[in-house]
Amino acid sequence: MPEPSDVPAAVSVRVAMVTGASRGIGAAIARALANRGYAVCLLARDGAAAAGVASEIGARGGRAVARSLDVTDEAAVGEATEAALSLWGRIDVLVNNAGLIEREVPLWEADVEQWWSVITTNVRGPFLMTRAVVPHMLAAGGGRVVNLNSGAGTAERAELSAYCASKSALARITGSTHLAGWAQGIRAFDLAPGHVRTEMTLSMDLHRGRTEWTDPAQVTDLVLAMAGGELDAWSGRFVRAGADTPATLRERAGLGMDHDARTLRLRPWGATDPLR
């Protein structure tokens, strides 16, 4: 990330941090936020690729910096957060996009290290980022966290046990962040991007032969609406690009929602179930 002398510090614009921002959905989100006027910190393992996206944003007149980051490294996450604060003076939006997926095999055929790496990246990463950033949001009066989740987090798949488990866990992180932070101005969202054509989705057997894809703009429209406070009624809940739009979500919120709507819950067998 550039030194503070390279980019004015404590800029009076909203600031966003985006993980996994070197390509795919993360890069699209970073570009959209910058186009909306946010100063954007792009974080990714591939720092050179993230820097390329940041340079592209800068060439169009946007404010962006990049930093190589392993989101599972607690010390590095803390350093990246402090660097962003020293550079811009604030963090208004955190987008936890970095993620991994395993080879599509039954659990008992899974490679142990690869399986656990998916859990570590997809769960420990958002945990560490949220833990590092939210205290600064609280001190400033609030902020918004957008977690890139998946429909895989709401149901099991025979060949994606780690990915499904990690996204279910991520929903709990989102819900906990919402409940603990709501009264203090923190909003947290689960956003499933649908089927966006990326390197990851193209590598999956699940999407082999797919001809219909989710437009990345449908994802970024929802991120911008969440970041801007238009969808605060959906804090703690699950939304999906390609099925939901900012307009339909605002309309649904205006009609009222059940407490458990669009949340991950145990389904009772009926009115007599003791676990209701």
Cβ atoms within 10 Å, residue 169: 18
Using CA atoms, how far residue 105 sits from 39, 144, 168, in Å, is: 41, 36, 19
**Active-site choice (115, 127, 163, 189):** 163
Q: From CA 196, how far away is CA 211, in angstroms rounded?
A: 11
CB neighbours (10 Å) of residue 98? Answer: 24
Q: Which helix (H) or strand (E) holds 144?
A: strand 143-148
Residue 32, C-beta contacts closer than 8 angstroms, at least 6 positions apart: 220, 223, 224
Q: What is the pairing mode between strands 238-240 and 15-19?
A: unpaired
Q: Distance (Å, rounded) from C-alpha 249 to C-alpha 112?
A: 40
Given a contact cutoff of 8 angstroms between Cβ atoms, the answer to whether 30 and 40 are in contact is yes
CA-wise closest residue to 124 among 10, 19, 263, 224: 19
Residues 6+ apart with CB under 8 A from 147: 96, 126, 170, 173, 174, 188, 189, 190, 191
Q: Is 163 a catalytic residue?
A: yes
Tokens of 6: 């390279």
Q: Is 38 a catalytic residue?
A: no
Residue of 31, 63, 167, 187 marked catalytic? 167
Q: How far apart are CA 28 and CA 220, in angstroms?
A: 7
Among all residues, which ones are annotated catalytic? 163, 167
